Structure 1
Amino acid sequence: MSEELKDLPGPWGIPVFGSLLSLTTFKEKTLMKWAEENYGPVFVVRMGSANVVVLNGYEAIQEAMCSKAQVHSGRFEALMFDVYREDRGLFFKQYDHVWEKWRKFAHDGLEHVWETLKITRFLDRVKENRNKFGIKLLGLVDERMDEQRKSQDLVTYFYRGNQQPNAEEREGLAFVLADLIQAGTTTSTAQFLWVLLFLLKNPDSMTRLQEELDTVLSDCDDPVESAITQKYDELNFSRAVLEETFRMRPVAPTGLLHQTLNDTSVMGFKIPQNSAVMPNLWSVHHDKHHWSPDPEVFRPERHLDESGSFKKSNHVVPFGLGWRSCVGPKLVHLNLFAHMVNIFHYYDVKLSPNDVNIDMAGISTTLLNPPPFKVTFNPRRKV
């Protein structure tokens, strides 16, 4: 451990493993507890062979990821990812000018084409071997170029600015698309299941949601499209439901490890170059002071002002903060919102009697997934 990191508080751990065995499941909760009871918002924890600086609370994470965004925009270099990706793609690639280019492309492209994104026809293949998947995506790139379609997807968006890309650029595009598909589908699926489960466990909230949908969308020819366009600002409680689900169960509560590109500091603590940094978003979403008196209670009303209008909070950050945050938050948010509206506008949904006492803590693996559950759908109106 470097001299600077030795100045940081943190648990001793045990030889070889450090504190890793205490963090195999629900590490976000354990890290928050350590911050509150022992070490404060910035501390260091040994995870196997790596010393990781853990950031807890909005102030520490905002300083590192926003105020000092560039220096914290490196990606922690793990051997598995180095061999697997060879510094390509978007999420596991190290920070450099190539990453900046692809990040800008992905962000601008998703903003531009989110409503007609066609790349989802490959979603059923995301579990294939990564090399095979890359080859298939390269085939898609060539196919889209040959067809010269006018539809707005990410590949055609890419070719508008790159009429004759070289092999390296085509391969780069394929790996970026693979990252977007694999990361976007797994996280979005888990997050939507949390939305469904929280509403099923809170029938008063579900009833209020459906009443709002019935009232606001009553005269719409296409209720779902209207909900994410001209009627969106009127669906205050519906937006609050989604916001509260993001707060209660962010599916990536600690995200991927960052790496400092230079010597820096957070809240007065010195952090040397090449340090692994973990922002614990869970600690922001469950801050006992900010969300007092009931941070562990599902209560969408907390996101409404006195007039009943939706109010956005800077303490709900499911997509992360800074340059390594999600590149397509608008796409993810509206996709989840559209699915929620589509289901609860047209169906009454009930949880299986066998799942009434389901464990709402979830399943902690790489992501925070909801446990398996079964539901029944009864039509409320003609679909």
Structure 2
Amino acid sequence: MKEKGSTFVTEDDVKNLPYFRALVKETLRIEPVIPLLIPRACIQDTKIAGYDIPAGTTVNVNAWAVSRDEKEWGPNPDEFRPERFLEKEVDFKGTDYEFIPFGSGRRMCPGMRLGAAMLEVPYANLLLSFNFKLPNGMKPDDINMDVMTGLAMHKSQHLKLVPEKVNKY
């Protein structure tokens, strides 16, 4: 594992950082980039959770709601708790349907591996190279966590952090 001030983190390094990977997964779970997955059409009559779905029906999967299901995530699914990914093996490859930030099945996001790497490696390098502080005496409880929804989700107010360089290079 790299020390603060080391040069950089690689993809191989990230594989050995289970808590960091859990943190990234928890972020994707609690704040999915796209709240509703791409609509699908049923090709045959089917039954899901006791509901009859006729062939030709357009089905929308609410990834935001799935990621907040108390049956899967426990009594406080809105609580940010990365440890839940250390307690049980859940991955975003589309086979664990309680966690589908990249969709699932044959039509899941083809950029899933690249997307995950583009989150993990750069963020790990930022954390390795900088200490971050909130500006002007702001406290964590002062952060506005309101979300604006649409095709993609984003915070209603940008988070501003003050970086302090740790890396000497």
- TM-score range normalised by the length of the shorter chain: 0.7 to 0.9
Residue 90 of structure 2 corresponds to which residue in structure 1?
Answer: 312
Cα drift, residue 284 of structure 1: 2.2
1:361 partner letter = D
1:350 and 2:133 are equivalent in the alignment: yes
Residue 374 of structure 1 corresponds to which residue in structure 2?
Answer: 160
1:378 partner letter = E
1:265 and 2:51 are equivalent in the alignment: no
Superposition pairs of residues 126-275 of structure 1, within 5 angstroms: 216-218=1-3, 223-225=8-10, 228-229=11-12, 231-275=13-57
**What is the CA deviation profile of residues 20-48 of structure 1, one whole-angstrom value per residue up to 9, with x for unaligned ones?**
xxxxxxxxxxxxxxxxxxxxxxxxxxxxx
**What is the CA deviation profile of residues 198-249 of structure 1, one whole-angstrom value per residue up to 9, with x for unaligned ones?**
xxxxxxxxxxxxxxxxxx1139975322xx12x3332011101001101111
Greater length-normalized contact order (CA 8 Å, ≥ 6 residues apart): 2
1:296 and 2:78 are equivalent in the alignment: yes
Say how many residue pairs are matched.
161
Superposition pairs of residues 5-44 of structure 1, within 5 angstroms: none
Cα drift, residue 290 of structure 1: 2.2
Distance across 1 between alignment mates of 2:90 and 2:50: 29
**Structure 2 gap segments, 5+ residues each:** none
1:321 and 2:104 are equivalent in the alignment: yes
SS at match of 2:164: strand
Residue 37 of structure 1 corresponds to which residue in structure 2?
Answer: none
1:275 partner letter = T
What is the root-mean-square deviation in Å for CA atoms of aligned residues?
2.5
TM-score, reference length from structure 1? 0.39
TM-score, reference length from structure 2? 0.82
Cα drift, residue 251 of structure 1: 1.1
Cα drift, residue 278 of structure 1: 0.6
Distance across 2 between alignment mates of 1:342 and 1:219: 10
Q: Indicate conservation of the 8 Å contact 1:263/1:272, yes or no.
A: yes
Distance across 1 between alignment mates of 2:43 and 2:4: 54
**Structure 1 gap segments, 5+ residues each:** 1-215
Distance across 1 between alignment mates of 2:71 and 2:54: 31
2:90 partner letter = K
**What is the CA deviation profile of residues 90-144 of structure 1, one whole-angstrom value per residue up to 9, with x for unaligned ones?**
xxxxxxxxxxxxxxxxxxxxxxxxxxxxxxxxxxxxxxxxxxxxxxxxxxxxxxx
SS at match of 1:270: strand
**What is the CA deviation profile of residues 308-362 of structure 1, one whole-angstrom value per residue up to 9, with x for unaligned ones?**
xx83352221111122211121111011001111111001112334685233131
**What is the CA deviation profile of residues 3-61 of structure 1, one whole-angstrom value per residue up to 9, with x for unaligned ones?**
xxxxxxxxxxxxxxxxxxxxxxxxxxxxxxxxxxxxxxxxxxxxxxxxxxxxxxxxxxx
Distance across 2 between alignment mates of 1:272 and 1:244: 35
Q: Indicate conservation of the 8 Å contact 1:352/1:373, yes or no.
A: no
Cα drift, residue 298 of structure 1: 0.8
What is the percent sequence identity of the aligned residues?
Answer: 28
Superposition pairs of residues 71-90 of structure 1, within 5 angstroms: none
Distance across 2 between alignment mates of 1:248 and 1:367: 14
Structure showing greater Rg: 1
Distance across 1 between alignment mates of 2:81 and 2:21: 12
1:360 partner letter = M
Distance across 2 between alignment mates of 1:373 and 1:257: 31
- Of residues 216-225 and 359-368 in structure 1, the stretch that sits farther from structure 2 once superposed is 216-225
Distance across 1 between alignment mates of 2:44 and 2:161: 51
Distance across 2 between alignment mates of 1:219 and 1:286: 34
1:246 partner letter = L
Q: Indicate conservation of the 8 Å contact 2:43/2:56, yes or no.
A: yes
